Chains A and B, each alone.
Chain A
Amino acid sequence: MTLTLQLGIIVGYLILALLIGLVAYRLTDRTAEDFYLASRTLGTIVLLFTTFATLLSAFTFFAGPNIAYAQGPEWVLVMGLMDGIIFAVLWYVIGYKQWLLGRQYDYVTLGEMLGDRFASRRLRGLVAGVSLLWLFPYVMLQQVGAGTALQALTEGAVPYAVGAGLITAFMILYVVVAGMRGIAWTDTLQGAFMLVTTWIALVWVLVAVGGPGSATSALASSEETAHFLSLGSDYYTAQWMLSTAITIGFGVAMFPQVNQRFFAAGSKTVLKRSFALWPILCVLLFVPSFMLGAWARGLDVAIPEGDNVLPAVLAEYTPVWFAALVIAGAMAAMMSSSDSMLLSGSSYFTRDLYRPFVEQSISERREDLLARVGVVLFATASFGASLVNPATLFELGDAAFSGFAQLALPVIVALYWRRTTRAGITAGILVSQAFYLSSLFLATVPSSYAGWTAGLVGMGLGLVVTVAVSLVTTPAADERRAIYFDGLGAD
């Protein structure tokens, strides 16, 4: 019964998503700009929720509550600072400037924007290459997650490879048909759905256990979890909380599917409204979701080793249909992040690698076609990798946020400091990436410096190298040094 219900809900969601995709398809122009950016027309609610659903989805439902369950509710603070505040500030500092530049010069990707300013095809290719290096394994991890979840859900009736394959095939179909507009619309539905069901789940569980007071005192009365309620612990040190919030917050802004949304806003007003609503939206989702995870520790809920906390809690305290709905929603959320990543990965590949290096003159129609082919290639390759799930790729995917964070400071320097040179930003990106990758894979490079993570240290290194090399080099003659500064305005 449960199984049929869960599969029914998942299939129902997929059909709904496809219908939305078809409506979006009817509205599209056959150009790459429309496919990737919905022709820069997204409104406040759609932009807000598509960014929200893309950013948070699967993690908020599964990994976040797991951390709160294992280590305590301080995770709410880390996520609130990272996503609610740091990312919002970058929304203005990086996002608004990118949006203005994108409108003025028709940029679709970050690499394109930098390559144009520094008159460097290589820099453009480097930014795209570095991004794909982190994005590819991250997409692979989503496929691994979806395959595993389907296998667990159906108790092996749908084997891992079949589950991951089905989901990949669906995503390809959906992204190729719908493009950015369809993805943004389903994300909106998804984001609103997540918010509402999380609150219903919270109320349901709290009513069942006698309110927040008794849920919390269950935590306080156990010796194992008594320290959960005081701020800070051996796990949540100040350095770790700050390192995590800063690296992930900056990393998010450089993640292709998030960064590209900076170009997609319909107007300045849309950006302004989304910016002001963002912290509230984050806290509204994080508090119930992670507190459920933390409270679960004090309740009598058996959570098998390696399983996710939230599904177990829901299964214990809410009716079968509701738990199934939330789990199906979370699975769909996993897909809604992946489809955006596929779309952005394809755009980085076609615009910043294929077009500049392989075929420079290309018609709009053909680029649109190529973009869709790119989605198929990217998804198929990452699906292939997910079947093998090599350790190196796993580690890269796991570290993707910090990897992307290494790009952020060189980009911000370039956006705000005229003296930045091509050599400076290239060196900044190369050195910080090399440092961070070594910290992951070489035993000789430590991953922690007096409690601060290698990700944060690498960001500092990237900043210093970008500025220092820019100071000692002169700009190349063909650099367009003024375009980030002169004549920028929305009206």
Chain B
Amino acid sequence: MRRLELAGWIVVAIVVSGLAIPWFLWGDATLVAGLPLWLWWHIGWMGLTSIVFWLFARRAWGIGIETNSGDSSPEQPPQSTTGGERP
């Protein structure tokens, strides 16, 4: 379950980064209130990103990094014989 959630957040991070530049407006020069539309998109997108980051910080902070939270399923798959400190 935790793994699925992690994958979900990775996808969110990629989408958030991928659309900060509105590629679908490439070559477009529409002006809205004195500024190019693509700049408005960027401003709105950065605001949205902040909200997404805030949600992440509230709901999922620690995912993929913290390992000592008692109730979550183990992050490490059973075949981890390659890991671990040597005695």
A residues near B (Cβ < 8 Å) are 73, 76-78, 80-81, 84-86, 88-89, 92, 96-97, 100, 211-216, 220, 229-232, 238, 241, 268, 272-273, 275-280, 282-283, 287, 291, 416, 418-419, 477, 480-483, 485-490
Asked if residues A89 and B69 are in contact (CB atoms below 8 Å), the reply is: no
Q: Which of A97, A272, A280 contacts B57 (CB 8 A)?
A: A272
Question: B22 — which chain A residues lie within 8 A by C-beta?
Answer: 231
Q: Which of B29, B68, B80 contacts A229 (CB 8 A)?
A: B29
Interchain residue pairs with CB less than 8 A apart (12): A84-B46, A84-B49, A215-B34, A220-B29, A220-B31, A230-B27, A276-B50, A276-B57, A280-B46, A291-B35, A477-B86, A485-B67
Asked if residues A85 and B49 are in contact (CB atoms below 8 Å), the reply is: yes
Asked if residues B20 and A85 are in contact (CB atoms below 8 Å), the reply is: yes
Interface residue count for B (Cβ, 8 Å)? Answer: 46
Q: Which of A97, A231, A277, A483 has the most CB of B within 10 A?
A: A231
Q: Which of A85, A277, A283, A419 contacts B43 (CB 8 A)?
A: A283
With A213-B34, A216-B35 as contacts: A80 and B42 at CB distance below 8 Å: yes
CA distance A76 to B46 in the complex (A): 12
Asked if residues B66 and A231 are in contact (CB atoms below 8 Å), the reply is: no
Asked if residues B47 and A85 are in contact (CB atoms below 8 Å), the reply is: no
Give the secondary structure class of A's interface: helix
Asked if residues A279 and B33 are in contact (CB atoms below 8 Å), the reply is: no
Q: How far is the CB of B58 from chain A (nearest CB, A)?
A: 8
B residues near A (Cβ < 8 Å) are 13, 16-17, 20-23, 25-29, 31, 33-36, 38-39, 42-43, 46-47, 49-50, 53-54, 56-58, 61-62, 64-69, 75-76, 80, 82-86
Residue on B with the closest CB to A84?
B46
Residue on B with the closest CB to A212?
B34
List 13 extra interface pairs beyond A231-B26, A272-B57, A489-B69, CB under 8 A.
A73-B36, A77-B21, A77-B39, A80-B20, A84-B46, A213-B33, A229-B36, A232-B26, A238-B23, A268-B61, A416-B64, A489-B66, A489-B67
Question: A272 — which chain B residues lie within 8 A by C-beta?
Answer: 57-58, 61
